[in-house]
Amino acid sequence: MTDISVATVNYQVDKRAWLLSPHGTDPGTTPSITLDISAFTPAVHYPNGYIPSGTPLGRITATGLYGPYSVTDEVQTITQGGSGLTSYTLTYSGQTTASIAQAATAAQVQAALEALSNIGAGNVLVTGSPGGPYTVTFQGALADTNVAQMTSTPTGGTGTVTVATTTGGGTEGTGGLEVAAGLLFAATKVPNTADTSKDVGAAMLVHGFVKLSKLPFTLDANGQADLKLIHFVA
């Protein structure tokens, strides 16, 4: 019996603004690979169920499968202590923020940091409850970078504000993921987001012309150097 009921199918539109020419995309020039879905982070690499095209990949030495080429973003924490704290400033690489209230929201702390010319809008993400502790993740132009640790000057009573680096930026992955092998050629659907043990086939770009600023994830200088057959432009 034939089912003639109405069915809805959603298709992912592939975005390849990062690919500057068809060079390197002829049939047979983009090798077939298998992605180890368990190596990817759901909220980061496939928030909508698809790993986007242009994702930098590395080859996992132990299995021969592919995962995300990885370089860590720096994460620093801001923690208040003592008593009587009313406000404080944060200093990053010689530049100091405007005064930040003791009970400032994460958004207010973020705005104060983004106002510094050596950070700028979109290059830091601050999370946490009013009054902290806050988690500061360097991203955008400061992603994948070992940045300077911030310092703080507190005001009021015996209040203290302590800054600590919990994740050093610029630390590359391990087990093969620290070496870039290519770029995911086409957006690839994760077969089952609830079961990341299911791997999936894909294709990889290994030579061609690529615009760095259009890649879905930052590719650092080391990763670019690994991909000797790809010409990168800003």
pLDDT single digits (tens) 154-196: 999 999 999 999 998 887 788 999 999 999 999 999 999 999 9
pLDDT at 106: 98
Averaged pLDDT, 93-101: 98
pTM: 0.64
| pLDDT surpassing 90 at residue 53 | yes
HEC readout, the chain: CCCCCCCCCCCCCCCCCCECCCCCCCCCCCCEEEECHHHCCHHHHCCCCEECCCCEEEECCCCCCEEECCECCCEEEEEEECCCCCEEEEEECCEECCCEECCCCHHHHHHHHHCCCCCCCCCEEEEECCCCCEEEEECHHHCCCCCCCCEEEEECCCCEEEEEEEECCCCECCCCCCCEEEEECCCEECCCCCCCCCCEEEEEECCEEEEHHHCCCCCCHHHHHHCCCEEEEC
- The domain spans of the chain are 32-71+172-233, 88-166
pLDDT band, very low/low/confident/very high, at 12 (cuts 50, 70, 90): very low
pLDDT, tens only, 198-217: 999 999 999 999 999 999 98
What dihedral do alpha carbons 168, 197, 30, 20 form, nearest 10°?
A: -50
Instruction: Give the lowest-confidence range in 38-42, 140-144, 158-162.
Output: 140-144
Identify the burial level of 47 via C-beta atoms within 10 angstroms of its C-beta, where 0-12 means exposed, 13-18 middle and 19 or more buried. Answer: exposed
pLDDT at 108: 98
* Average pLDDT in the chain: 92
Task: For domain 32-71+172-233, give the fold.
Answer: Virus Head Decoration Protein; Chain: A, (2.40.300)
| pLDDT surpassing 90 at residue 4 | no
- How many other C-beta atoms can be found within 10 angstroms of the C-beta atom of residue 210? 23
pLDDT at 61: 97
